[in-house]
Structure 1
Amino acid sequence: MKFLYGNILCLLLLTFCTDLLAQEDTTHINKYNYLKSRVIEGDTLPHVYIGEVTISPPWKFKSKRQHKRYSRLVINVKKTLPYARLAKYRLTVIANTLDTLPNERAKKLYLKKAEKELFEEFEKPLRKLTFSQGRMLIKLIDRETGDTSYDLIKDLKGGFSAFMWQSVARIFGSNLKSEFDSEGDDAMIEHIVIMIDNGML
Structure 2
Amino acid sequence: MQYCVTSIVMIVKKHSVLILCLVAFGLNAQSDTTVTKKMSIDGEIVTAIVRDGDTLITAELNEASVTSFRKFDSDTQKRWYLKYRRYANTVYPYAVESIKMFRKVERETEGMKKKKRKKYVRNLQKELKKEFTDPLKSLSRTQGKILIKMIEYELDTPMYDLLKSVKSGFSASKWQTLGKFYGYNLKEGYIPGDDPIMDAILQDFDVSYE
Q: Is TM (by shorter chain) over 0.5?
A: yes
Contact 2:95 2:150 in 1 (8 A): yes
Contact 2:121 2:166 in 1 (8 A): no
Distance 1:180 1:95, change over 3 A: same
2:97 aligned with 1:86, yes or no? yes
Alignment-mate amino acid for residue 137 of structure 2: R
CA distance in 1, matches of 2:64, 2:131: 33
Alignment-mate amino acid for residue 192 of structure 1: I
CA distance in 1, matches of 2:124, 2:66: 39
CA distance in 1, matches of 2:117, 2:158: 23
1:118 aligned partner: 128
Aligned length: 162
Aligned mate of 2:76, from 65, 68, 81? 65
Contact 1:84 1:144 in 2 (8 A): no
Q: Which has the higher contact order (CA 8 A, sep 6+)?
A: 1
Contact 2:159 2:186 in 1 (8 A): yes
Query: Larger Cα Rg: Structure 1 or Structure 2?
Result: 2
Aligned mate of 1:191, from 186, 189, 200? 200
RMSD (Å) for aligned C-alpha atoms = 3.2
3-state SS in 1 of match to 2:109: helix
How big is each residue's C-alpha offset from its partner over 1:51-107, in whole Å with a ceiling of 9 and x where there is no partner?
997653211122111111111111111111221111111111112221375x33332
Contact 1:56 1:191 in 2 (8 A): no
Q: Which runs of 5+ in 2 are unaligned?
A: 1-43
Contact 2:153 2:202 in 1 (8 A): no
Distance 1:127 1:53, change over 3 A: closer
Which protein is richer in helix relative to its size? 1
Alignment-mate amino acid for residue 176 of structure 1: L
Contact 2:99 2:151 in 1 (8 A): yes
Which protein is richer in strand relative to its size? 2
Normalised TM-score (structure 1):
0.66
3-state SS in 2 of match to 1:99: coil
Contact 2:67 2:204 in 1 (8 A): yes
Distance 1:100 1:155, change over 3 A: closer
Contact 2:91 2:146 in 1 (8 A): yes
Q: Shift in Å at residue 32 of structure 1?
A: 4.6
Q: Give the alignment of 1:30-45 within 5 angstroms.
A: 32-34=45-47
User: What is the percentage of aligned positions where both structures have the same residue?
Assistant: 29
Q: Give the alignment of 1:1-201 within 5 angstroms.
A: 32-34=45-47, 55-99=66-110, 101=112, 103-182=113-192, 184-195=193-204
